[in-house]
Amino acid sequence: MAAPDRRIVRVSPALFDQLDEQLRAERGPLGEPSAADFVVMELPSVVERFATDFDVLPEVVEGLRSARMLIMPGRLVRNYVVYGVLTTDGTVELVAVSIEP
């Protein structure tokens, strides 16, 4: 069965919790990004990539086709990695994020 052209993507509450742990609640005094900044500026393109390119993103563990990661330089942070898991209904759930400020 061929993969759909576009997958539905959900962001898990755990990912938002991780953002809150890694970034400030508000912008820092030197312009450091907040978690809300990341959600507005970075997350839409992450969701788009998982929706359209899930099958070509790197596997989290070689051979585990249902777990993929997106490694990107950020506009607000140096780099980030977002992890997504393909659920049984074909939806991708973004479950974790790691940010290098």
pLDDT in the model for residue 3? 52
Asked whether residue 4 is domain-assigned, the answer is no
Percent of the chain with pLDDT over 70: 96
Report pTM. Answer: 0.92
Asked whether residue 1 is domain-assigned, the answer is no
Structural domain count of the chain = 1
Of the candidate ranges 4-8, 14-18, 45-49, 58-62, the one whose mean pLDDT is the lowest = 4-8
User: What confidence tens digit (pLDDT) does each residue in 33-45 have?
Assistant: 999 999 999 999 9
Task: Tell me the Ramachandran region of residue 82: left when phi exceeds 0, alpha when psi lies from -120 to 50, beta otherwise.
Answer: beta
Of 72, 75, 2, 81, give the one whose Cα is nearest residue 38.
75
Asked whether residue 49 is domain-assigned, the answer is yes
90: Cα within 13 Å, side-chain hemisphere:
9
What rounded mean pLDDT belongs to the chain? 95
Range of the domain at 56: 9-100
Amino acid at 36: A
Residues whose CB is less than 8 angstroms from the CB of residue 68 and which lie 6 or more positions away in sequence, other chains included: 50, 54, 57, 58, 59, 60, 83, 84, 86, 92
Asked whether residue 2 is domain-assigned, the answer is no
Asked whether residue 56 is domain-assigned, the answer is yes
Task: Pick 4 or 55 by higher pLDDT.
Answer: 55
